[in-house]
Chain A
């Protein structure tokens, strides 16, 4: 039985990936941080079928022990404080987990399970203010916040362990991917949650930042399949994963409100406090390499994604 170790199993991606791997007959070991209270809501339904281990990405010994005891065949590193905006407030903590933490993890893998396959969750934040549109695996990186910079270091270390030690390590550069399990601090979930609340008479309006900001948004359930496909590929490599199209926050609002029979213009107002210190230019993926080499394609389109999220939020608020 193939054994997968998932760091950040409690998050959106970790929970979908667990379900997917369980469905493929994997034994799933979920790693959760020992020092932070973890919300197990996303994985509550699969808890009986997985094993949880606690550890600390800030501590080499903890990771060494984890590898030595669990001996995984595949390692998915999805653990990271994933809010770029919050990274301005606690950049050192973010760097210690997101950047140095990956070095500790790679070292533990090299020492105890060098035959394992390693997936590093990189992100489109690496491109920051992109130097070209769309962005592919060959686009120059230009990160613009402490989170993106930490992620870039982790990306290069992943590449370095592949080139230097011949380990099977891949970096998946994923563009935004959403779902009903997306954290409330992300704009998509903030919108769909509030739309559901407004629809049910629990709230009156919605404050947002720049409505014309555009993103390449996909469905998380599609993206975790890409992670798995990368580790089944014959050679370790880096892949950009996205839909290849962008939509504005405004369009997201429009579809979300329309899906419950409302007009977003009656509820949405703009609050400059939500602007980021450095606002990115247009991020949009060129996923050609993943399409061709992995045969990966997104299955859920933008409208379906927004509706899925609104429906789920409505469902969860109904008693």
Chain B
């Protein structure tokens, strides 16, 4: 039985990855922070799921990315075959307010884990969650050879982690891969991210609980994919013959305005009636156009997205409508049943969403 260690297991990607790996008969270990708020709602359904019976192979460990010794102990005791490093201070806007913390956790956290793997002397494979934000103002489409132009403390910290990952691969021969993931969303996306902010507000508007949605820049273009597709890409990268750096995206870019059109249109509303622009949401240095060129990923790994923009919006809107207790049109729900039969179930979506606690 393979063993995987996931940092950031309580996040959007960590929770989906846990479901995927459990379905592949992995023993899954997760690193969680000892925090004053217990923040495990995205994985609690896994414990409750009767399919998992009494032999649930999921173990949580308290740990701290700011502490090397603690990570060394964990790697020594778990002896994972694969480490998926997903934990980070992952909010771009927040990184401007917490640059030191972001650098320490998002940047140096990766270094501390790689050091722990190196010291353990075990042939552990390592996945680094790199981000398209590292491209910053670089001209789209972006691929593995695009020059990085980080525009935020978050992007600079992620770029630091990217280089450390390459460095440990090239300098020490560790199987360490960078997945440069473009934006990926889902019903489990945190409420502060623009996509979820929109679908959540949309549901509240439908339910008559809200009448205005404040947003920042509507023109920023992003390559938005569906998070469960992307965790499959992470897993495939570590099953590949050789480690490397891979861009993961859908190859389509849409603006926030497009997202509003699609989401409100799906439930026959006009967003112009509800959306107001608040300049406070503008980022000091805005990344305006991210679009993945995923030729390498398709060729070398044989991965491509199953859910594209329109379907993604439908899944998220359906889920938020259900969460708030309304009937949903159901197109998104149907898409999920077609594309992700075995490990990724609709019923787990709603119970695991942020806001459902």
Contact = CB atoms under 8 A, between A and B. Distances in A.
Interface of A: 60, 88, 91-92, 95-96, 99-100, 103-104, 106-107, 140-141, 143-146, 149-150, 152-153, 156-157, 160, 163-165, 277-278
B156 A156 contact: yes
A163 B171 contact: no
A164 B285 contact: yes
Contact of A163 (B104, B151, B157): B151
Nearest to B152: A160
A156 B159 contact: yes
Contacts of B157: 153
B350 interface: no
B191 to A, nearest CB: 25
B103 A103 contact: yes
Contacts of A88: 171
Contacts of A100: 100, 103-104, 107-108
Contacts of A107: 99-100
B160 A91 contact: no
A99 B100 contact: no
B170 interface: yes
Interface in B12-67: none
6 contacts: A92-B68, A149-B167, A152-B160, A160-B152, A164-B284, A278-B170
Contact of B156 (A104, A140, A153, A277): A153
Contacts of B115: 91-92
B163 interface: yes
Contacts of B108: 92, 95-96, 99-100
Give the interface centre of A103, A141, A163 by most chain B CB atoms within 10 Å. A103
A71 B284 CA distance: 26
Nearest to A140: B147
A277 B118 CA distance: 15
Interface string B280-317: 00001100000000000000000000000000000000
Interface string B101-136: 001100110011001000000000000000000000
Contacts of B271: none
A149 B163 contact: yes
A60 B100 contact: yes
A103 B151 contact: no
A153 B285 contact: no
B170 A157 contact: no
A153 B167 CA distance: 14
B164 A146 contact: yes
Nearest to A277: B171
Give the interface centre of B68, B112, B164 by most chain A CB atoms within 10 Å. B164
Contact of A145 (B68, B148, B171, B284): B171
B150 interface: yes
Contacts of A163: 151, 284-285
Given A160-B150, A160-B153, A153 B111 contact: no
Given A99-B103, A157-B156, 14 more contacts: A91-B164, A92-B68, A92-B108, A95-B111, A106-B99, A107-B100, A140-B147, A149-B163, A149-B164, A153-B156, A156-B156, A156-B159, A160-B150, A164-B152
Nearest to A163: B285
Nearest to A145: B167
B285 A160 contact: yes
B346 interface: no
A62 to B, nearest CB: 13
Given A107-B99, A164-B96, A91 B153 contact: no
A98 to B, nearest CB: 11
A57 B171 CA distance: 28
B160 A103 contact: no
A92 B103 contact: no
Interface in B129-176: 147-148, 150-153, 155-157, 159-160, 163-164, 167, 170-172
A146 B147 CA distance: 20
A157 B153 contact: yes
B99 A156 contact: no
A157 B99 contact: yes
Contact of A153 (B68, B107, B170, B284): B107
